[in-house]
Amino acid sequence: EQTLWVCCFVNYESKVFEYLKKGTQVYVCGDVYADVFQKDDGSHIPSVSLTVSRIELLGKAEKKENGDGTATGQPQ
C-alpha cells in the first residue's frame, strides 16, 4: 500500500473546515494538476495538486486490525 499526497487549494470559504480532524474521510472534487518535481539531488518525484470546487465530509476512517489484535487508523 502506498500513500499519494495531494496538495489541495480552496478558493472559497466553507464551514466544513471547522469539522475536519485527522482521520476524517472527505470527498473532494475539482481540477487536478499533475507535475514532476525535481529534488535537490536531481531525482524526480510526482506532484499532484487539486483546486477544490466541492468538499464533503464522509465520516471517520475505519480502523484496521493488526495481527496482534490492536487497531490502527488510516495513514495520514
Summarize pLDDT for 4-32 with one digit per residue, the tens.
788 988 877 777 888 888 888 989 999 99
- The DSSP symbol for 49 reads E
Q: Which residue has the higher pLDDT, 10 or 2?
A: 10
Q: Which residue has the higher pLDDT, 38 or 2?
A: 38
Among 21-30, 33-42, 54-63, 64-73, name the one with the lowest average pLDDT: 64-73
Distances (CA, A) of 50 to 6, 8, 28, 37, 72: 7, 5, 9, 16, 28
pTM: 0.58
User: Region 37-56: what's the mean pLDDT?
Assistant: 91
